[in-house]
Amino acid sequence: MKNLKVWLVFLPLLTIACTDDSSTEITETAQEFKGVKKKVGISPRNTANPYDLAGSAHNDILDIIDDTSINSYSIEDIAAVIDSISALNPDLALFPNDTTVSSKLSEITWIVNDNDAITEVLTTSTLGNSAKSSLTSFVNSLLLATDDPYEDIYAMIVGYETNVINSTGFTSEEKQILLTTTSVVRYSVYRKKREDKDWDTSVGNIAATVSGAEEGLVLGLKMAVTVGLCQNHNITQ
């Protein structure tokens, strides 16, 4: 999905979700993309995480619509675009029970507009108390590391993932939610550091990942992309 030929496969679907002008802009952006990125001296991949695909697909989706002006979009528009793009990802197609992010518009709108959505998401989450406490500590540590080099952040995240993987105190369902979330975070931070962008310390996309991951890996990453795009572009409805 990182080359132009594959990107162009997605463009017909984007025309369904967007206006003609928006679709044309996305097409031009994909065609003009030259892959000029800031180099970070480490890959975001962690093959030990069985849910590493979540973060990888998260970044692939963002790469397709990178630098496209979406300020005129609504949350509904963005959700439709994300559903369209992810539907053709061959890896995500392996998850047949995928829920559309467009069916979660009310929840996404709430997360986008709530500065402390992570607290309520965890309160109502199916995660047990130990897993909730663990994830809260992880998020707090992550926020303290905002200005650290990516290599240090990566080491912290992978260390946490190792503890989760080896833990006998978490259920398999809890591990899926935790590791899907850390995968999205690991790749998301990499992308922003690579492009020399400010790393938004908002945890809205983390809350979205946790909420979506309750139903599965794909919904988790799609909700993270949607919320992240909306918050970065100040789209609230």
Q: DSSP letters of 105-159?
A: HHHHHHHHH-TTHHHHHHHHSSS-HHHHHHHHHHHHHHHHTTTS-HHHHHHHHHH
Scan for tokens 């963005």, then name that residue: 78
pLDDT in tens, 134-146: 999 999 999 999 8
pTM for this structure?
A: 0.81
Q: Tell me: the pLDDT tens digits for 23-65?
A: 444 334 333 333 334 455 689 999 999 999 999 999 999 998 8
pLDDT of residue 94: 83
Q: Where are the beta strands (DSSP E) in the chain?
A: none
Report pLDDT for 202: 65
| Residue of higher predicted confidence among 172 and 200 | 172
Residue 8 pLDDT > 60: no
Residues 6+ apart with CB under 8 A from 68: 22, 25, 26, 29
1 Cα distance to chain centroid: 16
Question: Are the CB atoms for 188 and 205 separated by under 8 Å?
Answer: yes
Contact 237/74 with Cβ under 8 angstroms?
yes
78-117: pLDDT as tens digits:
999 999 999 888 888 887 667 899 999 999 999 999 988 9
Question: 160 CB contacts (<8 Å, ≥6 apart)?
Answer: 138, 141, 182
Confidence of residue 232 (pLDDT cuts 50, 70, 90): confident
Q: How far apart are CA 170 and CA 7, in angstroms?
A: 38
- Position 110 scores a pLDDT of 95
Greater pLDDT, 132 or 115: 132
For residue range 191-217, list pLDDT tens digits in order. 888 775 555 556 888 999 999 999 999
